Amino acid sequence: MQLRDFDINLLVIMEAIWTNRNVSLAARSLNLAQSTVSAALNRLRQSLNDEVFIWSGNIMSPTPLAEQVMPDVISILNGTRLLLDKSEGKLASVERRLAIATADYVTALLGADLITIAQKEAPNLSFDFVDMKPQAINRSTRPDVDLFIIPEAALRVGGLRKASLYSDTYVCIGASDNDTLHEGMNWDDFLNLPHVGYSAFPRVIFNHESMMWDDLGAEANYRLTMANYLTFPRIVANSKAVAIIPKRLAMMLTGQWNLKYIIPPLPVPDLHIVAYWKPAPMQDPALNWLIDAVKRITSDWVV
């Protein structure tokens, strides 16, 4: 096939399916009919002589060829977007969905401010927040994620750019009337409390505080674990359980729930939250704006 015979709009369809892993969701993100996207996928398959995406359960998985060429597709589309943006001379003209991988509570802390700033400065940008879990770390260079917001050193950062955002630490939350949780309590009493903890794996405790406490020979009484910090306050506020969470989240939650928090009697690690992104071969105005916006939002986050 000659270049003049190839429709670059098929690459837009490919990007949308890659990001959403679903034809219907891809069509919705592009404001197109599902039949239009399905027809374009068939044309793409014919053009590349490859299935490109195949059904795997309830998602569409990329073929080896799609995995191989997707970074080049993203580069081509970013270059084209930059060209169009330069012709308009304004960020407001850029239409883009940006994917941000982070923890659920960071989405809660950032989301409202990000929407507010974008409405004023980049009204055609929209955002997809996705969970950043340990099992996804080895896929850190996936081109369908534009920005990672995670603790420093939690990601293999070879080839990625980095910007420091803010510092945090961990505290322990409990119901306001839970007298078993109090400042100055000893290690044993604290560890024996029923704990709700973060862990991305079933039957395995995998979090920052447990790794530090393991080195001290200390083990908490974990009665329930999950990979969603934002579920903790409902459970803790209505039980005698306690939970370790980032202090900035605790400061927000205590005003919304019947909660209090203390500094744990055992040492907890500091949190240095950073942004990572894959450098594009050409300038990406939308991504540059996103990074700057996140920096501005977090610039005065002090705990």
All structural domains of the chain, each given as residue ranges with its CATH number in brackets, are 170-269 (3.40.190.10)
Residue 119, SS3? helix
pLDDT at residue number 208? 84
Nearest Cα residue to 109 out of 281, 292, 220, 246: 246
Q: Give the amino acid at 132.
A: M
pLDDT at residue number 279? 80
Q: Give the amino acid at 161.
A: R
Strands (E), the chain: 53-56, 59-62, 96-102, 125-131, 147-151, 161-168, 170-175, 194-198, 221-226, 242-246, 259-262, 271-277
Low-confidence residues of the chain: pLDDT under 50 = 89, 135, 138-141
- What Cα–Cα distance (Å) separates residue 219 from each residue in 134, 142, 178, 183, 226? 21, 36, 21, 19, 17
| Bridge partners for 96 per DSSP | 125
Q: How many angstroms from the chain centroid is the CA of residue 175?
A: 29
The DSSP letter of residue 232 is H
| Bridge partners for 62 per DSSP | 53
Q: Which residue carries 């270049």 as its tokens?
A: 3
Which residues have CB under 8 Å from 123's CB, separation 6+?
A: 92
Q: What is the pTM of this model?
A: 0.71
**Cα gap 282→79, rounded to integer Å:** 6
pLDDT at residue number 79? 79
